[in-house]
């Protein structure tokens, strides 16, 4: 039962089994979670604080989840493991309203950053186990969030 639960989350609710672009499929799960969280709870006081805390929990739990999944799949950063992409997209979207322009921009920006892994982000994926799986996407998400907020300040 534990293995099934770990696989469920590590594969982004099984989106990681997509035959093509599994990381992109995982990011789509992030889009769905972002939209659901916003439309279900944004009327609550301090929504963005709770959203951010939730994303931190998802990211920290992801280190353990991805470590366990790596052991189950017996492969370093196995292709079906996409929880890092889910978390990375959610980080990118912290404080960003779910308007179509921002959803698409955040999605494309995060995917480009995740593929390119600029600067030291590339070397972070060499860290062991779940930390190595998650930390580069966390970094890409933080960088994406900074860029999106910068663009938002410039264009409104």
Would 96 be classed as within a structural domain? yes
51 CB-side CA count, 13 A? 26
Structural domain that includes position 144: 23-155
Would 12 be classed as within a structural domain? no
Would 8 be classed as within a structural domain? no
The DSSP element (H or E) to which 117 belongs, if any, is none
Would 4 be classed as within a structural domain? no
Residue 135: predicted pLDDT = 97
Would 6 be classed as within a structural domain? no
Contacts of 70 (CB under 8 A, 6+ apart): 76, 77, 78, 81, 129, 130, 133
Residue 24: predicted pLDDT = 98
- The angle formed by the CA atoms of residues 143, 54 and 148, to the nearest 5 degrees, is 25
Asked if residue 8 lies in contact with residue 17, where contact means CB atoms within 8 angstroms, the answer is no
Q: At what angle do helices 47-73 and 2-10 cross, to 10 degrees?
A: 120
Would 49 be classed as within a structural domain? yes
Would 9 be classed as within a structural domain? no
* Residue 2 pLDDT > 80: yes
The DSSP element (H or E) to which 133 belongs, if any, is helix 129-155
Percentage of the residues of the chain whose pLDDT score is greater than 70? 100
Q: Give the chain's domain count.
A: 1
Would 5 be classed as within a structural domain? no
- DSSP three-state, residue 11: coil
Residue 156: predicted pLDDT = 72
If pLDDT is split at 50, 70 and 90, which confidence band does 106 have? very high
Distance, CA of 118 to CA of 121 (rounded, Å) = 6
């Amino acid at each position: 039962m534990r293995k099934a639960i770990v696989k469920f989350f590590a594969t982004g609710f099984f989106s990681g089994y997509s035959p093509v672009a599994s990381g992109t499929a995982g990011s789509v799960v992030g889009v769905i979670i972002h939209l659901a969280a916003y439309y279900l709870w944004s009327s609550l006081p301090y929504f963005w604080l709770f959203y951010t805390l939730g994303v931190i929990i998802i990211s920290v739990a992801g280190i353990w989840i991805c470590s366990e999944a790596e052991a189950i799949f017996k492969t370093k950063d196995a292709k079906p493991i996409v929880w890092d992409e889910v978390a990375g997209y959610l980080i990118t979207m912290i404080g960003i309203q779910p308007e179509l322009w921002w959803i698409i921009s955040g999605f494309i920006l995060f995917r480009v950053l995740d593929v390119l892994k600029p600067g030291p982000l590339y070397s972070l994926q060499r860290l062991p186990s779940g930390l190595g799986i998650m930390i580069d996407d966390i970094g890409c998400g933080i960088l994406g969030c900074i860029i999106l907020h910068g663009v938002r300040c410039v264009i409104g």
